[in-house]
């Protein structure tokens, strides 16, 4: 899985040379992109009215400003198309549209030659070959496709941003989407229809972005895209829709409306959605199949279970197409913390037992070193008698010395004689009669 991160209103640039009105100048352009309008591009400044309605019925959009984006419809998280008709004509009303009822028609006015530059090999066409480009900077003759996270209820509800993912595609050629900042910036590839795994793009809250979309062949293309988010209440939301493109002026929009997403993939989506509902992670997917009532029949859902922040959700960078419950993440953290605490306690207890056992062994060894007769006595005179074999930690002995000083068994160095048997013993095992006789 690949991932990218989109900050709010990144610098914009055209694909394959600056998209200006004159095709000849574009073809002769030496550089791959013209000067970018930058973050202060007035075309990216917008505010979406919470009262903008959801329109029903089929619609073909071949020019003007269009965004993909999440919206809450009757309390449900939906992936919709924002048709900003009022931007071009103040007498018109901007509305949200259902993807299965809307076709984005990329006319031949979007055709441009691929530059002879290795930086653009990723588009899947040879240098000089003409491709259809929905540009990052607006060309009034071509539908201008971007995305936003600016629906007022969405901005109030999502935690930090959303993950926009390309999860599948079908069509006669290769589709790529990329960003480019300035005339000399390297292309940042976001989506490539040849990739086998989902490709994720992190989009911050209150973001409005446009990218370059390149189609290598004319015909009908279906792109399956998903938008997912962690909400401020800890729940997660997800909706997957199929968006329809008719590329080339000669391609009939009716063909794109009638196109059906492969049955096997639709069944896989349904199974994944059911599994997600069963384990309480993300909301249900809509399969995006053709038909005027498909969106109402298969709405996206907001899951009430807690969800993790992902990645980035994390990180955003981080890949964020999978949103497990926050409760599950907390439980895992508590479990790991409990295991770590138990291990620490076990190690501490083992250390205490080892120290206690060593101390006990030292005491036992000391007692063994003293021997059974290891006692000492206090002399009756100024000296003291000492029984042979007395140790350092001896107990009061049974003998009493009659002479001063301390000497060998029974004898003090002074005039008196030490008598180990004379005296009252404190140990019953060695106790003798008080006032025992002299040893001659």
Contact between 318 and 310 (Cβ < 8 Å) = yes
Sequence-distant (6+) residues with CB within 8 A of 180 are 13, 14, 15, 32, 33, 36, 136, 186, 187, 188, 212
Q: How open is the CA angle 420-423-426, to the nearest 5 degrees?
A: 100
Per-residue burial over 7-21, b if 16 or more Cβ lie within 10 Å, else e, is ebbbbbbbbbbbbee
Contact between 413 and 401 (Cβ < 8 Å) = no
Per-residue pLDDT for the chain (440 aa), expressed as one digit of tens each? 666 665 544 333 333 343 333 333 333 333 333 333 344 566 788 999 999 999 999 999 999 999 999 999 999 999 999 999 888 888 889 999 999 999 999 999 999 999 999 999 999 999 999 999 999 999 999 999 999 999 999 999 999 999 999 999 999 999 999 999 876 789 999 999 999 999 999 999 999 999 999 999 999 999 999 999 999 999 999 999 999 999 999 999 999 999 999 876 655 555 444 444 433 344 444 444 333 333 333 333 333 333 333 333 334 434 333 333 344 444 555 666 667 777 777 777 667 765 766 766 665 555 555 554 443 333 333 433 333 433 334 334 443 334 444 434 443 344 444 344 443 334 444 344 334 444 43
Q: Can you tell me the distance from the alpha carbon of 193 to that of 327, in angstroms, rounded to the nearest whole number? A: 35
Beta bridge partners of 69: 80
Contact between 81 and 148 (Cβ < 8 Å) = no
Q: Can you tell me the distance from the alpha carbon of 384 to that of 388, in angstroms, rounded to the nearest whole number? A: 13
Q: Can you tell me the distance from the alpha carbon of 322 to that of 58, in angstroms, rounded to the nearest whole number? A: 32
Contact between 184 and 31 (Cβ < 8 Å) = yes
Beta bridge partners of 274: none
Q: Can you tell me the distance from the alpha carbon of 330 to that of 327, in angstroms, rounded to the nearest whole number? A: 5
What is the gyration radius of the CA atoms in the chain, in angstroms? 43
Contact between 243 and 81 (Cβ < 8 Å) = yes
User: Which long-range contacts link 371-375 to residues 24+ away (Cβ below 8 Å)?
Assistant: 373/430, 375/425, 375/426, 375/427, 375/430
Q: Can you tell me the distance from the alpha carbon of 411 to that of 70, in angstroms, rounded to the nearest whole number? A: 106
Question: Could you tell me the residue ranges of all domains in the chain?
Answer: 2-324, 325-365, 371-440
Q: Can you tell me the distance from the alpha carbon of 92 to that of 27, in angstroms, rounded to the nearest whole number? A: 35
Q: Can you tell me the distance from the alpha carbon of 133 to that of 109, in angstroms, rounded to the nearest whole number? A: 9
Count the neighbouring beta carbons within 10 Å of the beta carbon of residue 311: 19
């Amino acid at each position: 899985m690949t991932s990218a991160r989109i900050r709010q209103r990144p610098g914009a640039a055209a694909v394959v040379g600056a998209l200006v009105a004159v095709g000849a100048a574009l073809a002769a352009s030496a550089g791959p992109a013209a000067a970018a309008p930058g973050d202060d591009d007035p075309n990216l400044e917008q505010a979406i009215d919470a009262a903008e309605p959801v329109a029903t019925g089929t619609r073909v959009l071949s020019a003007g400003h269009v965004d993909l984006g999440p919206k809450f419809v009757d309390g449900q998280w939906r992936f919709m198309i924002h048709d900003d008709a009022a931007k071009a004509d103040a007498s018109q009303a901007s509305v949200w549209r259902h993807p299965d009822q809307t076709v984005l028609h990329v006319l031949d006015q979007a055709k441009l030659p691929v530059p002879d530059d290795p930086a653009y090999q990723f588009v899947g066409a040879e240098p000089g070959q003409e491709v259809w480009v929905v540009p990052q900077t607006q060309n009034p003759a071509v539908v201008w496709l971007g995305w936003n996270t600016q629906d007022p209820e969405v901005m109030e509800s999502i935690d930090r941003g959303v993950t926009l993912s390309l999860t599948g595609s079908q069509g006669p050629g290769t589709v790529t989407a990329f960003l480019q900042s300035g005339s000399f910036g390297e292309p940042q590839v976001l989506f490539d229809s040849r990739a086998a795994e989902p490709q994720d793009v992190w989009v911050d809250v209150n973001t409005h972005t446009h990218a370059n979309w390149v189609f290598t062949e004319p015909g009908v293309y279906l792109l399956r895209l998903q938008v997912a988010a962690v909400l401020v209440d800890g729940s997660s939301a997800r909706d997957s829709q199929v968006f329809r493109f008719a590329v080339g002026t000669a391609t009939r929009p009716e063909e794109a409306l009638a196109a059906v997403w492969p049955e096997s993939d639709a069944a896989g989506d349904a199974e994944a959605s059911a599994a997600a509902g069963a384990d309480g992670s993300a909301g249900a997917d809509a399969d995006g199949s053709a038909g005027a009532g498909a969106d109402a029949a298969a709405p996206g859902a907001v899951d009430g279970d807690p969800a993790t922040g992902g990645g980035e959700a994390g990180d955003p960078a981080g890949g964020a197409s999978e949103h497990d419950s926050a409760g599950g993440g907390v439980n895992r953290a508590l479990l790991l913390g409990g295991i770590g605490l138990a291990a620490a306690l076990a190690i501490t207890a083992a250390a205490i037992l080892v120290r206690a056992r060593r101390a006990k062994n030292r005491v036992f060894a000391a007692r063994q070193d003293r021997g059974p007769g290891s006692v000492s006595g206090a002399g009756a005179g100024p000296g003291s008698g000492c029984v042979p074999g007395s140790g350092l930690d001896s107990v009061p002995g049974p003998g009493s010395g009659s002479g001063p000083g301390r000497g060998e068994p029974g004898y003090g160095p002074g005039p008196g004689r030490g008598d180990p048997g004379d005296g009252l013993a404190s140990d019953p095992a060695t106790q003798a009669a008080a006032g025992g006789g002299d040893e001659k």
